[in-house]
Chain A
Amino acid sequence: MSWNKRVLRVNLTERTCKVEPLNMEWANDYLGGRGLGTKYLMECMDPAADALSPENALIFATGPLTGTMCSTSGRYAVVTKGPLTNAIAASNSGGKFGAELKFAGYDLLIVEGKASSPVYLMIQDDEVSINDADEYWGTTVWHTEETIKEKHSDPQIKVASIGVAGEQGVRYACIVNDLHRAAGRSGVGAVMGSKNLKAVAARGTRGVAVENPKAFMEVVKHTHQLLEDSAGRKDLTKYGTNAMIDTMHSFGGLPTRNFQDVTFPGSENINPEAMTTPNENGHTNLITNKACFGCTIGCGRIAHIDKNHFSIKDRQQYWHASGGLEYETAFAFGPVIGVDDIDALTFAGYLMNEHGMDPISFGVTLAAAMELFELGVITTAETDGVPLNFGNAEALTIMAEKTGKHEGFGKMLGMGSKRLCEHYGRPELSMSVKGQEFAGYDSRALQGMGLGYATSNRGACHLRHDVFSEDMADQSGNGKAWPCKTSQDKTAMIDSTGLCLFTTAAWDTNEFQQQVSVACGGHWTSERLIETGERIWNLERLFNLRSGLSKADDTLPPRLLEVPAPAGVAKGRVAELSTMLPEYYALRGWSQEGVPQQSTLDRLGLGEKQRDVESA
């Protein structure tokens, strides 16, 4: 079967590396990735512990389908307690690192404790070592990744590392692998930094075997073909995720100038067409598309910046190609701060990857700072002399770099919008849930998205549910609780297989069932997979309750609950959370205080956990 059945447990305090057998009972209940990582996290730490203390654990979790020929099999999850949210953080990444960790012979890597000085972990099959990282500390992700490969004379080594942002505890620092793929959200990079762990490098030759190769390849041929033929897949390949920017602009769901507006005319300057149209210098932004490991979609973009642009004209080190705009980066460096300079956006994207930061949280935090600036709450005296007006492209690139290097006003931005706005006495200006910033969808135009944001276990997130078609069809909150709940369960399951959510362009639960069955063996039905997702969702909820979160955290900012959408198809509407949330709790089998009922937990085999919560 396609689990390696091995867990690598590293204790940085004691400087020990141990291999232990994978708990197959848990694997059968939680699959892998996000689900199995959460189960292991619950068992090895107290959810009430400080996210940036040595008591927190950092888990890199592959799925049973990671490293197989299933399309998009490169996914792994980083599971830990998030310093941005104080909630469970399960951050998902592609690229090639996850598959390499699996090929080295491990399903999960669990990092505990804290090293006394900077270290990096080197994993070459059975040879695992904790190495001194003084020479990399204080340097960028890109430098770290390239020099570790050089040092070990092996360009095939895959590296996941943090930049200065992670070292210095930027609350939304991420872990970057393969130069421009990231476990992006909730500050998992800051947890890594708090452990003095600069990088994990992996090289694996053990491979992954599946239960029945012949049957497996028959299923894979079928599922590949479904993706090949899918219109949604074709759009992702051709346009990348940024095709969404035109859809959201015309719909009136594109958060603009810190969610004060819902349309952004400048989006035509940063959309997929702009990425492929030569500018006045004859420079075209997009070079090609790029796939993560095993992916037959290839939504990733490789772009380059016009050498004449103010951001890099005197900085030749950025004259190379790298990861280009995706929808969320385009939103977070574009509409939400009022900027439509495609080269500035692309450069800010480079800086996020180079320094290891979540573009969504950075952009929406900058948007809050810009609103504070325009209101006169802060002035150039606080912002190192940089006028933080909406639409200032130079402010974007300067502040992105300052935050990445933890300098000047960048230190303030590194706290995230919630802490920043609280610091300046205007908490209502933070566009976040549980401290995590929104993605590029306005909750007043997309009501199901709003419910999903409010109830997402890792704080505001657009990837924890899929109510998109229902939201586009109907602007009211009626009937959104059920598709929100069921898609949350399904998404939790998919995130635990080792495959990518974007495959749902062509696959439904049935296709995941077929692939899990032939890879893992055992009796897997669609019902069992969906129940697995529901179990994972409830376990995450229990983690958050034990961490101290409650119903009060399942909410949206007043701007979305009280101020009607100023334009678009939902003009005049506010987020209808007050009617959706009680319905959602009931459908989940939770009390109206948002606590899972004993009967729900017993049905999911989580009964004991509930008693833990009550006694806590």
Chain B
Amino acid sequence: MLIVTLKTLILDADRCTSCLQCEMACSLEHEGLFAPAFSRIKVFEFEHGKRSVPYTCTQCEEAWCMQVCPTKAITINHALGTKVVDESLCVGCKVCTMACPYGTINYNTVSGKVTKCDLCDGEPKCAEACPTDAITYGVAS
């Protein structure tokens, strides 16, 4: 039996202070500027900041986004386990955004394409930017 030990983003809400360094790092990497509105990782706050929860694509095995895409714009990067959007093939139909049970693939109103976490080709900038280790990149135990 083949045991795959791919690295993944490990999110620890107990450590998150909601500083949004992750959202800025993500948008700089993918959009070239600081624009949390376009970040592929989002922090949600509950009860006046009692709890802050970072949230992004889990690169789930079922990958409903990939399965429903009519133009086959979403493919697997086997080395990283990521599901990656090819913007040249995406027509912006948004079917994937409806299929994803986690709401972590989103339509970008500027580009007219969908965007999702691609783990920055194996060097996720959100984890690098997180000052409290609420976001780390490693093999989940």
Do the beta carbons of A293 and B20 come within 8 Å of each other?
yes
Do the beta carbons of A298 and B17 come within 8 Å of each other?
yes
* B101-141 with Cβ < 8 A to chain A: 109-110, 129, 131-132
Instruction: State whether A69 and B19 are in contact (beta carbons under 8 Å apart), knowing that A290-B49, A320-B48 are contacts in the complex.
Output: no
Do the beta carbons of A294 and B21 come within 8 Å of each other?
yes
Do the beta carbons of B19 and A208 come within 8 Å of each other?
no
Do the beta carbons of B50 and A207 come within 8 Å of each other?
no
* Docked complex Cα distance between A207 and B32 (Å): 10
Identify the closest chain A residue to B32 (Cβ).
A213
Instruction: State whether A295 and B19 are in contact (beta carbons under 8 Å apart), knowing that A68-B34, A207-B38 are contacts in the complex.
Output: yes
* Docked complex Cα distance between A164 and B108 (Å): 40
Among the listed A99, A228, A321, which residue makes an inter-chain contact with B131, where contact means beta carbons less than 8 Å apart? A228
Among the listed B19, B28, B51, which residue makes an inter-chain contact with A293, where contact means beta carbons less than 8 Å apart? B19
Is B89 interfacial (CB-CB < 8 Å)?
Answer: no
Q: What are the residues of chain A within 8 A of B109 when measuring CB–CB? A: 205
Chain B proximity mask over A283-305: 1 for CB below 8 Å, otherwise 0? 00001111111111010101010
Is B87 interfacial (CB-CB < 8 Å)?
Answer: no
Main SS class of interface, A? loop
Identify the closest chain A residue to B31 (Cβ).
A207
Identify the closest chain B residue to A209 (Cβ).
B33
Do the beta carbons of B18 and A302 come within 8 Å of each other?
no
Do the beta carbons of B19 and A291 come within 8 Å of each other?
yes
Instruction: State whether A209 and B32 are in contact (beta carbons under 8 Å apart), knowing that A296-B21, A320-B48 are contacts in the complex.
Output: yes
Q: What are the residues of chain B within 8 A of A238 when measuring CB–CB? A: none
Do the beta carbons of A103 and B48 come within 8 Å of each other?
no
Instruction: State whether A207 and B37 are in contact (beta carbons under 8 Å apart), knowing that A69-B129, A294-B24, A296-B131 are contacts in the complex.
Output: yes
* B25-51 with Cβ < 8 A to chain A: 25, 27-28, 31-38, 47-51
Do the beta carbons of A291 and B17 come within 8 Å of each other?
yes
Identify the closest chain A residue to B18 (Cβ).
A291
Do the beta carbons of A321 and B28 come within 8 Å of each other?
no
Q: What are the residues of chain A within 8 A of B47 when measuring CB–CB? A: 320-321
Instruction: Please count how many residues in chain A sit with their CB below 8 Å of the partner chain's CB atoms.
Output: 39
* A347-391 with Cβ < 8 A to chain B: none
Identify the closest chain B residue to A350 (Cβ).
B48
Do the beta carbons of B21 and A217 come within 8 Å of each other?
no
* Docked complex Cα distance between A286 and B34 (Å): 32
Do the beta carbons of A205 and B19 come within 8 Å of each other?
no
* Docked complex Cα distance between A292 and B49 (Å): 11
Do the beta carbons of B37 and A103 come within 8 Å of each other?
yes
Minimum CB–CB distance for A275 against chain B, Å: 15
Q: What are the residues of chain A within 8 A of B131 when measuring CB–CB? A: 71, 224, 228, 296, 298
* A47-80 with Cβ < 8 A to chain B: 67-69, 71
Q: What are the residues of chain A within 8 A of B33 when measuring CB–CB? A: 207-210
* Docked complex Cα distance between A323 and B48 (Å): 7
Do the beta carbons of A321 and B34 come within 8 Å of each other?
no
Among the listed A68, A207, A296, A302, which residue makes an inter-chain contact with B49, where contact means beta carbons less than 8 Å apart? A302
* Docked complex Cα distance between A213 and B31 (Å): 12
Instruction: State whether A294 and B28 are in contact (beta carbons under 8 Å apart), knowing that A206-B35, A209-B33 are contacts in the complex.
Output: no
* A261-300 with Cβ < 8 A to chain B: 287-296, 298, 300
Q: What are the residues of chain B within 8 A of A67 when measuring CB–CB? A: 34
* Docked complex Cα distance between A296 and B20 (Å): 9
Q: What are the residues of chain B within 8 A of A288 when measuring CB–CB? A: 17, 50-51
Instruction: State whether A69 and B35 are in contact (beta carbons under 8 Å apart), knowing that A207-B27, A322-B48 are contacts in the complex.
Output: no
Do the beta carbons of B18 and A204 come within 8 Å of each other?
no
* Docked complex Cα distance between A67 and B131 (Å): 17
* Docked complex Cα distance between A71 and B28 (Å): 15
Identify the closest chain A residue to B14 (Cβ).
A288
* Docked complex Cα distance between A296 and B38 (Å): 21
Instruction: State whether A321 and B17 are in contact (beta carbons under 8 Å apart), knowing that A209-B32, A296-B131 are contacts in the complex.
Output: no
Minimum CB–CB distance for B22 against chain A, Å: 10
Minimum CB–CB distance for A306 against chain B, Å: 16
Q: What are the residues of chain A within 8 A of B35 when measuring CB–CB? A: 103, 205-208
* Docked complex Cα distance between A286 and B52 (Å): 16
Minimum CB–CB distance for A232 against chain B, Å: 15
Is A535 interfacial (CB-CB < 8 Å)?
Answer: no
* A318-340 with Cβ < 8 A to chain B: 320-323
Is A114 interfacial (CB-CB < 8 Å)?
Answer: no
Minimum CB–CB distance for A215 against chain B, Å: 13
Q: What are the residues of chain B within 8 A of A210 when measuring CB–CB? A: 33-34
Minimum CB–CB distance for B115 against chain A, Å: 13
Minimum CB–CB distance for B113 against chain A, Å: 16
* Docked complex Cα distance between A103 and B38 (Å): 11
Residue contacts A-B, CB under 8 angstroms, 27 given = A68-B34, A69-B34, A103-B35, A103-B37, A179-B48, A179-B49, A205-B35, A205-B110, A207-B31, A207-B35, A209-B34, A210-B33, A224-B131, A228-B131, A287-B50, A288-B17, A289-B17, A290-B17, A290-B52, A293-B20, A295-B17, A296-B21, A296-B131, A298-B19, A298-B132, A320-B50, A321-B47
- The residues of B with any CB-CB pair to A shorter than 8 Å are 17-21, 24-25, 27-28, 31-38, 47-52, 109-110, 129, 131-132
Contacts A207-B38, A321-B47, A323-B49 known; 9 new A-B pairs at CB < 8 A: A67-B34, A103-B35, A103-B36, A156-B37, A207-B35, A288-B51, A289-B17, A320-B50, A322-B48
Closest 7 A-B residue pairs measured CB to CB? A207-B35, A321-B50, A296-B131, A291-B19, A291-B17, A205-B37, A207-B33
